Amino acid sequence: MKHLLHATIFLLLAGCSSKSKVTQGVTIIGGAPVDKGWTFEANPSWSDEFDYTGLPDATKWDYDIGGSGWGNNELQYYTNTINNAKVADGKLTITARKEVMGGREYTSARLVTRKKGDFLYGRFEIKAKLPAGKGTWPAIWMLPTDYVYGGWPKSGEIDIMEHVGYDLHKVHISTHTEAYNFKINTQKSASRMVETATTDFHVYRVDWTPYAVRGYIDNQFLFQHVNEGKGHATWPFDQKFHLLLNIAFGGDWGGAQGIDPSVLPVNMEVDYVRVYKMIDK
């Protein structure tokens, strides 16, 4: 009887170990997530083609405002004025200027889709031309809308494009989490030289699924952060995120080799922003 009981327990345990489970919306087999090969809808579910004139569309965009340094000792004051963010000639232009405001010597804009465009998974595609100049730090990125797992970096960050002016044309795609972030030098990141990043438009893209965040420049694969199935410390990307577009000036990274105020004003031009829904499986 005892031998039969032991055999039964063994079979039950063996059966459990071979079965899959579902966690954070992902099928997990043997402790690793499974890529279902998700695809995306052909037409965007959310977009701005910037085919109008004036301030950015208030139904789609809001602003982060102020000059607090934004956690990186940045030097600019972010405004919500047409002086720093305007739409004309089929594109959005974000401008960083040498201009005193709010106790800061520089102004810029940081546009956000928070509460107007919040997304869980999808394809995010932005066509943009970047500013040049020492001290400039443009970014196209994503932050969590509700910070379910706590403050940065616990709830995550997705950087679709970052560029610092002292390292001309080197474009970065990164993710940050509690376990993987630049403060402890463990961030997931990849970079590529884009020799015309500041003179021509290029397409910066992230495909975000329950399995991975994958990054592309001009449709060429560059970056991947795979869900390890170990919880939100390594994968907080199962909550809604929103988009941000901005130019910072100076700061811990942008100003790491000094700044050159004579380069201002500088622009980041955005031809379009498109978000495509993931087709669930």
Rounded average pLDDT over 41-45: 98
| Per-residue pLDDT, 265 | 98
Q: Is residue 199 pLDDT above 50, yes or no? A: yes
Q: pLDDT (tens digit, 9 = 90+) per residue, 170-189?
A: 999 999 999 999 999 999 99
Active site residue 49: no
Mean predicted lDDT score pLDDT of the chain: 92
Task: Concatenate the DSSP letters of all residues of 109-168 into one string.
Answer: -EEE-TTTSEESSEEEEEEEE---STTEEEEEEEEESS-TT-TTTTT-EEEEEE--TTST
Active site residue 74: no
Break the chain into its structural domains and give their ranges. Answer: 1-34, 41-279
Please indicate, yes or no, whether the overall pTM of this predicted structure exceeds 0.75.
yes
* Cα(281)–Cα(279) distance, integer angstroms: 7
Q: How confident is the model at residue 281 (pLDDT cuts 50, 70, 90)?
A: confident
* Cα(87)–Cα(60) distance, integer angstroms: 13
Rounded average pLDDT over 22-32: 55
Selection from 140, 194, 139, 205 nearest residue 169 by Cα:
194
Cβ atoms within 10 Å, residue 198: 20
Helix (H, G, I), strand (E, B) or coil at 265: coil
| Per-residue pLDDT, 31 | 63
pLDDT higher at 22 or 45: 45
Q: What is the CATH number of domain 41-279?
A: 2.60.120.200
pLDDT higher at 2 or 51: 51
| Per-residue pLDDT, 3 | 42
Rounded average pLDDT over 21-29: 53
Q: Which of 74, 99, 157, 269 is catalytic?
A: 157
Percentage above 70 pLDDT, the chain: 89
Q: Which of 74, 99, 162, 269 is catalytic?
A: 162
**Range of weakest confidence among 21-30, 39-48, 55-64, 144-153:** 21-30
Report residue 40 as tokens. Answer: 């995306």
Q: How confident is the model at residue 25 (pLDDT cuts 50, 70, 90)?
A: low
| Per-residue pLDDT, 9 | 37
Q: Is residue 157 pLDDT above 70, yes or no? A: yes
Q: How confident is the model at residue 114 (pLDDT cuts 50, 70, 90)?
A: very high
